[in-house]
Chain A
Amino acid sequence: GIQVEQSPPDLILQEGANSTLRCNFSDSVNNLQWFHQNPWGQLINLFYIPSGTKQNGRLSATTVATERYSLLYISSSQTTDSGVYFCAVEKAAGNKLTFGGGTRVLVKP
């Protein structure tokens, strides 16, 4: 099956810092999504981004499908950004969404 690797596995940030999370995948994909799992375990969809660039407040994401990677940018990080960030890909339409191992982010005040 398709492999999804996220880096770094862990990230510690000082409040206000910027950071970039990376998601590499092993095959062409039809669908890519980024999620944030907060410290209480709730998973929130951040971006649906099979290609191109999107922005939502302090977060933005870029997927370069031809090079099989996606980046999630966090700017001016806040303590509420702490949690685990997952990317998930779908190889073909109607197929299952496969998750990466996640990047665990801790933002310190």
Chain B
Amino acid sequence: GAGVSQSPSNKVTEKGKDVELRCDPISGHTALYWYRQRLGQGLEFLIYFQGNSAPDKSGLPSDRFSAERTGESVSTLTIQRTQQEDSAVYLCASSWAPVSSYNSPLHFGNGTRLTVT
């Protein structure tokens, strides 16, 4: 597609269940980011993938959070044993960065709104 695609757009889950969020970046984009945005707040960095380099996981809030990326394509963010404080919009973004030293504008998806009841 033309933009970053995220699914599902909305997810309601019960506390303690696992959830998996998906991100399809723009074709050809080598850099992929996950951010979290709580209601009325700014963007909180979670994880960053750049090509075949080891991901920067420094923003993952706990070991319940993990993310994977298949090559330079789809990424999934998994939250295990969800808690109410995990409720937020999870945003994925991608950019074209053929090497780690290259920067280009970041393009965001529309996010997945996660509600943990």
Contact = CB atoms under 8 A, between A and B. Distances in A.
Interface of A: 30-31, 33, 35, 41-45, 48, 50, 86, 88, 90, 93-102
Interface residues of B, dominant DSSP: loop
A96 B111 contact: no
B18 interface: no
A63 B5 CA distance: 31
B48 interface: yes
A90 B100 CA distance: 12
A101 B53 CA distance: 29
B104 A43 contact: no
A35 B102 CA distance: 19
B108 interface: yes
A94 B89 contact: no
Interface in B71-117: 89, 91, 93, 100-108, 110-111
B42 A102 contact: yes
A96 B47 CA distance: 8
Q: Specify which of B43, B48, B89, B91 lies most central, judged by the most chain A CB atoms within 10 Å of its CB.
A: B43
A87 to B, nearest CB: 11
Given A94-B100, A96-B45, A98-B45, A45 B105 contact: yes
Nearest to A94: B100
6 contacts: A35-B106, A48-B105, A93-B102, A94-B100, A96-B33, A96-B56
A99 B76 CA distance: 22
Contacts of B108: 35, 42-45
